[in-house]
Amino acid sequence: MTCLSFVLLAGGQSRRMGGGDKNQRVLGGKPVLQHVLDRVDRQGGPTAINANGDPSRFANYGLPVIADVIEGFAGPLAGILTGLEWTAAHHPHCSHMVSLATDAPFLPVDLAIGLQAGLGVDADIVQAKSNDRRHPVFAIWPVALAADLRQAVCDEGLRKIDDYTARHRCGVVGFLGTPDPFLNLNRPEDFDRAEDWLARQSKTP
């Protein structure tokens, strides 16, 4: 079986939430980031949190915290590059990396297995999809792309995931769930909706 590493992208600035670490906000009794960690079957693979700033704020998770390898909050593509280079340097036995956003508490448990199953002759990179919408941040990447991605991000100034994956064979795997398994919590009202859904679930026999 392919060895996978996992990198949780927490390097954003959460502007729509008013700043701070939205993944540290408590939802249903635990931080959103813990929901992500608890839901995804990581198959024992090495896992890191990609975050800028003081790493001690993530100390409770017992995971390495890796800052972006390029400065200036360059977006998720910089986090993916950081994760690929971390995997190559510290876990060379892993051939692929799964990238995850940290603001989606209802992720499918079989996310990694599903993405991995999508790899093949027609797809080097595989992204998740739900309700006819792709989710480029939730994807599996060959670690061998690290040097190519570094050139695109650092030398060419590329910032959009779609612009990069358009250069490669990129597949899509669909996932089902209620609520949408990739529902991300960007605004305070998103948290309210998520709390309401969890409350309804707790009352279901």
- β-bridge mates for residue 134, sequence order: 129
Q: Residues 115, 129: contact at Cβ < 8 Å? A: no
Task: Kindly write down the DSSP assignment for every residue of 23-50, as one continuous string.
Answer: GGSEETTEEHHHHHHHHS--TT--EEEE
Q: What is the pLDDT of residue 74?
A: 77
Peptide bond before 179: cis, by omega within 30 degrees of 0?
yes
Q: Of 81, 86, 87, 75, whose CA–CA distance to 10 is shortest? A: 75
pLDDT of the residue at 166: 97
Q: How far is CA 42 from CA 5, 17, 84, in A?
A: 8, 28, 16
Q: In the structure, what pLDDT confidence band is assigned to residue 17 with cuts at 50, 70 and 90? A: very low
Domain 4-203 adopts which CATH fold?
Answer: Spore Coat Polysaccharide Biosynthesis Protein SpsA; Chain A (3.90.550)
pLDDT of the residue at 186: 87
Per-residue pLDDT tens digits for 111-123: 999 999 999 999 9
pLDDT-based confidence at residue 1 (cuts at 50, 70, 90): low
- Report the C-alpha gap between 89 and 60 in whole angstroms: 24
Instruction: Please state, in angstroms and rounded to a whole number, the distance separating the CA atoms of residues 200 and 183.
Output: 17
Residue type, 4: L
Calculate mean pLDDT across residues 130-146.
Answer: 97
| Across 45-59, average pLDDT | 95
The amino acid that residue 147 corresponds to is: A
Tell me what pLDDT residue 13 has.
Answer: 52
Q: How many residues does the chain have?
A: 205
Rounded percentage of the chain residues whose pLDDT exceeds 90 = 81
Taking alpha carbons only, the member of 142, 54, 47 closest to residue 102 is 47
Q: What is the pLDDT of residue 137?
A: 97
Residue that has been written with the tokens 């996310």 in this structure: 111
- Cα(202)–Cα(205) distance, integer angstroms: 8
Whether the per-residue pLDDT at 138 is higher than 80: the answer is yes
pLDDT of residue 18: 45
pLDDT at 19 over 90: no
Is 129 in a helix, a strand, or coil?
Answer: strand
Read off the pLDDT band of 15 (50, 70, 90): very low
The rounded mean pLDDT for the chain is 92
Q: What tens digit of pLDDT does each residue of 155-197 get?
A: 999 999 999 999 999 999 999 999 999 999 988 899 999 999 9
pLDDT in tens, 56-88: 999 999 999 999 999 877 789 999 999 999 999
Residue 14's pLDDT is what? 44
Domain boundary assignment for the chain: 4-203
Position 154 scores a pLDDT of 93
- Residue 205 above 50 pLDDT? yes
Give pTM, 2 decimals.
Answer: 0.93
User: Cα separation of 190 and 187, whole Å?
Assistant: 5
